[in-house]
Structure 1
Amino acid sequence: MLNVDIPSLGPCQFASPLHQIGSTEVPFKTDQDRILYSNTVRGLEEPESALSFEEAGPREQIFFDPARTTVGIVTCGGLCPGLNDIIRGIVYQCYRQYGITKVYGFRYGYEGLVQRYGHTPLMLRPESVAQIHNFGGTILGSSRGQQPIGEMVDTLEDMGVDILFVIGGDGTLRGASEIAKEIKNRGLRKAVVGIPKTIDNDIMYLDKSFGFETAFAEAVNAVKCAYTEACGAVNGVGLLKLMGRDSGFIACYAALAGSNVDFVLIPEVSFTMEGTAGLLEALRYRLAKRGSAVIVVAEGAGQELCQAADGTDASGNKRYGDIGLFLKDQINAFFKARRMEVNLKYIDPSYIVRSVPANPQDNVYCSRLAQSAVHAAMAGKTSMLVGRWHNAFVHLPLDMVTHGRRKVDSKGELWHAVLESTGQPAIMV
């Protein structure tokens, strides 16, 4: 059974300064407030049915003395809508609710925690972050790749940082877990709290990750462009490649929202190019029937078909072959060999999708994640992350969510909805 216990730095001996906000009493939570793992009757028959997660929220007693607390924030990995919203939310919550006045922003990811790189931390205040949510990216900058754990913890010691908020994806969260372990090995009383970030929406045990709503909304605009291009030419094909290394959630949601997509290709569902059941023949049939077609492909789809790239990236991820360009060449060659006119337009909006400011729905989600993260850290909880599960904000152990990825279930409702929307063959092998 999964271990859902959240480590704590010790007894909470300080009264929270949040006892009353205006005339409204604060809805304090205790560690006995739990959110069930399963929310279905069928799920009660499964071994995990007894599992529950700590509910996030303010605690009546806190571990850190706000007047003596120093906070650090670091953003790592690729860009994602909402990073600035998270930074702003943490700073506001620290200053305005808890009275913490020392909040540092470490620049360029984990590099900023290694002093020999020379990245001077930023002092963050409410006035300096007031408008950053209107811009994409992160004011702190970001980077990929591992850094020496010992040197990063040395920096936290030297600067007297009590709480480190780590914002990033699975690789970043694994790094946060190692930082927390080194802190524990040194006998230090410092909290490490993660806020999961990935537009791929592939973090385990979360309803969704921040930035996903914005990313797929931008992807829908790209679907509309692909559809317009396809309809504007004889046998027009709009080929759109979207992000999704191992999980095809953006491709699925963009196709459903765009509603003008004929084929969706994702990493979780295999397909072939050739043969009577392959993609090319299905595309030829669709063009003969409708005169145009739109194909949405996730970047990690069909990797067994295209030539793999060499090596790994700075985060240790295997480099994938370019499935978009592979499909473009294969489709053009297929129709040329049959002397059939085809007008293919290839669109790859990857960096546009991830670099835009968060939309209002993600604005709200990021604000609440930031608030929950600060509440957890001030209560002395560590080696954990905050997220939403069954529409409630919860605490999850870092080690629990970094072993595996959330994926589209090829037999589930989402993929079935995609098949109904596109009308594509359920099997293309």
Structure 2
Amino acid sequence: MQVTTLGEALYPSPLRYFVSDSLRLAERIIQRPDEKMTDNIAFELAGPREKLFFDAKTTRAGIVTCGGLSPGLNDVIRSLFLELHHAYGVSQVYGFQGGYRGLDPHLGKEPLLLTPELVDDVHKKGGTFLGTSRGPVDTAVAVQNLIDKQINILFVVGGDGTQRGGYELYKEAKRQNYPLAVVGVPKTIDNDIPFVSQTFGYLTAIEEAAKALDRAHVEARCVNNGISLVKLMGRNAGFIAAGATLASQEVNFILVPEVPFKLEGPNGFLAALKKRILDRGHALVVVAEGAGQELLQNNTQLKDASGNILLNDIGQYLSTRIKTFFEDEDIPVHLRYMDPSYLIRSTRANAVDSVLCDLFARNAVHAAMAGKTGLIIGKLHDKYIHVPSELLASRKRVMETDGMLWQGVLASTGQPASFY
């Protein structure tokens, strides 16, 4: 994939090792006998370049964090700043406050001038000290503001909606003929960004979710016919629910967006849950927020400020249906419904995610200083790559139901492959 550059890179890099623009990484490293390699996308490798487009002494960079919270946001901000400041010698790095609203001088606060003292211990806290918000910004106003503030580089930290916004900012800057490097750092605990094998915050979310599942299991086991129903995040993909299920090893049923299910009938979920209660006297059920949406009525397809379709509450719906079902069956149960989602995503990053945040951030800085724009930093086959932002719209990343993760879930829970 060809990555856009702002122009010829003329300034020597102060770093000591470099990656050539000619190096590529194939999307698929395993080839079927009938597959043509010409159909395989090859991505430019990320890393420091020998020549830079921007002169560090006169460069101004900005950082904006958008969308929902994720463990590691402050780690990314800190590593972006430290790489710019210490490695490249960029003296002016600004943090735009309140998400994309902060790019509009009429809506947001003035950006913060970041310093080593300001970012010293931010990685020890959850959330983002710059603040965040959902929703678009008038791109013409935002780019004009960046021009007025002489911002040469903008790092956009967020999920797919945020990166779509970053792509619009890139196009607007190009339309205005302003050499702005827009580089995205992919963020979502759902782990569903294409061409990114693991987004930062995902492993921390699994760790925290597994703790919640263990406690929910205790609640179910300590009462007669106890059922704990736990809703976890996962709009379009069940990665958190599946990962937490394997980490906990206490889950009996898991429902995810990738696998449609029925509630009623001899092979439906409720019949399986009834058998579990009669046989074992307790059950732990995990549902991803995007699962079973086709079962709920009044799905109006309304969207939130980020452009995501508003989901109906599958957790509350299942809770009601389970209670009604067992009442009709004359089987007394003790149902506990729990939604720890916001507690999970607002914690600080664990050690593994902190390392991942650092590597995403540093590779984003390398790309920006070399004058690359309209891209996000991806990760495939344990290598960091440059992914053109426009390519994100062409793919959705979901869990493979014939893959090892889901097969491990089925083996761990013992549930059938399908509730149909």
TM-score between both structures, scaled by the size of structure 1: 0.95
1:368 to 359, 362, 368: 359
- Residue 288 of structure 2 is aligned to residue 298 of structure 1: yes
Q: Secondary structure at the match of 2:216?
A: helix
Cα offset for 1:50? 4.0
Distance 2:108 2:205 in 1: 33
Partner in structure 1 of residue 392 of structure 2? 401
Alpha-carbon distance in 1 for matches of 2:219, 2:157:
38
Cα drift, residue 49 of structure 1: 5.2
Q: Deviations over 1:297-352 (max 9, x none)?
A: 00010011123455321112221111111111111111111211111111100100
Change (3 A) 1:275 1:375: same
Give 1:79's aligned residue: 69
The answer as to whether partners of 1:82 and 1:133 remain within 8 angstroms in 2 is yes
Q: 1:332 to 1:50 in 2, by over 3 A?
A: closer
C-alpha separation in 2, matches of 1:143 and 1:339: 47
> Which whole-Å CA distance do the structure 2 matches of 1:355 and 1:309 have between them?
28
CA distance, structure 1, for counterparts of residue 298 and residue 319 of structure 2: 16
Against the structure 1 CA distance between its residues 290 and 6, is the aligned structure 2 distance closer, same or farther, given a 3 Å change threshold?
Answer: same
* CA displacement at 1:187 relative to structure 2: 1.2
Q: Is the 8 A contact 1:220 1:258 kept in 2?
A: yes
Give 2:381's aligned residue.
390
Provide, for residues 45-94 of structure 1, a one-character-per-residue CA deviation record: whole Å limited to 9, x for no partner: 25565422111111111110000000000000011111000000000001
The alpha-carbon deviation at position 41 of structure 1 amounts to 3.6
Confirm or deny: 8 A CA contact 1:37 1:49 kept in the other structure.
Answer: no
Q: 1:352 to 1:11 in 2, by over 3 A?
A: same
How far apart, CA to CA, are the structure 2 residues paired with 1:84 and 1:99? 21
- Name the SS for the 1:424 alignment partner: coil
Pairing 1:156–2:153 present: no
* Contiguous gaps of at least 5 residues in structure 2: none
* RMSD (CA atoms): 1.3
8 Å contact 1:301–1:323 — kept in the other structure? yes
Q: Is the CA contact (8 Å cut-off) linking 2:96 and 2:112 kept in structure 1?
A: yes
Counterpart for residue 322 of structure 2: 331
Once the two structures are superposed, the pairs formed by residues 25-36 of structure 1 within 5 Å of their partners are 26=17, 28-36=18-26
> 338-347 or 96-105, which moves further after superposition?
338-347
Offset from partner CA, 1:11-44 (integer Å, 9 cap, x none)? 110000113xxxxxx2x10111221211214388
Residue 7 of structure 1 aligns with an amino acid whose one-letter code is: T
Q: Which consecutive unaligned segments of at least 5 residues does structure 1 have?
A: 20-25
Task: Tell me the residue number matched to 2:4.
Answer: 7
AA paired with 1:207? S
Q: Secondary structure at the match of 2:94?
A: strand
2:266 pairs with 1:276: yes
1:118 Cα offset (Å): 4.2
In 1, distance between residues paired with 2:230 and 2:163? 30
Q: How far apart are the structure 2 equivalents of 1:32 and 1:106?
A: 34
Please point out which of 90, 93, 99 is paired with 2:89: 99
> How many aligned residue pairs are there?
419
Residue in structure 2 matched with residue 220 of structure 1 by the alignment: 210
SS in 2 for 1:164: strand
- Counting only pairs closer than 5 Å after superposition, residues 1-400 of structure 1 correspond to structure 2 as 4-19=1-16, 26=17, 28-42=18-32, 45-46=35-36, 50-308=40-298, 310=300, 311-400=302-391
Q: CA deviation at 1:402?
A: 2.9
CA separation of 1:15 and 1:43: change in aligned 2, threshold 3 A: farther
CA distance in structure 2 between the aligned counterparts of 1:245 and 1:47, rounded to whole angstroms: 33
Residues 44 and 163 (structure 1), Cα distance of their counterparts in 2 relative to 1, 3 Å cut:
farther
Task: Provide the rounded CA distance (Å) in 2 between the counterparts of 1:267 and 1:408.
Answer: 9
Q: For 1:157, give the aligned amino acid.
A: I
Is contact 2:97–2:108 with CA below 8 Å preserved after alignment? no
SS at match of 1:293: strand
Amino acid corresponding to residue 328 of structure 2 in structure 1 = A
Cα displacement (A) at 1:412: 2.4
Give me the TM-score of the superposition, normalised by structure 2. 0.97
Question: SS at the partner of 2:344?
Answer: helix
Identity %: 47
Runs (4+) off by over 6 Å: none
Q: Distance in 2 between matches of 1:46 and 1:366?
A: 35
Q: What CA distance in whole angstroms lies between the structure 2 residues aligned with 1:166 and 1:325?
A: 34
Q: 1:157 offset after TM fit, Å?
A: 0.3
SS in 2 for 1:129: coil
Task: State the 1:223 CA deviation.
Answer: 0.8
Instruction: Give the 3-state SS of the residue equivalent to 1:426 in structure 2.
Output: coil
One-letter code aligned to 1:155:
N
Q: Is the aligned partner of 1:428 residue 2:419?
A: yes
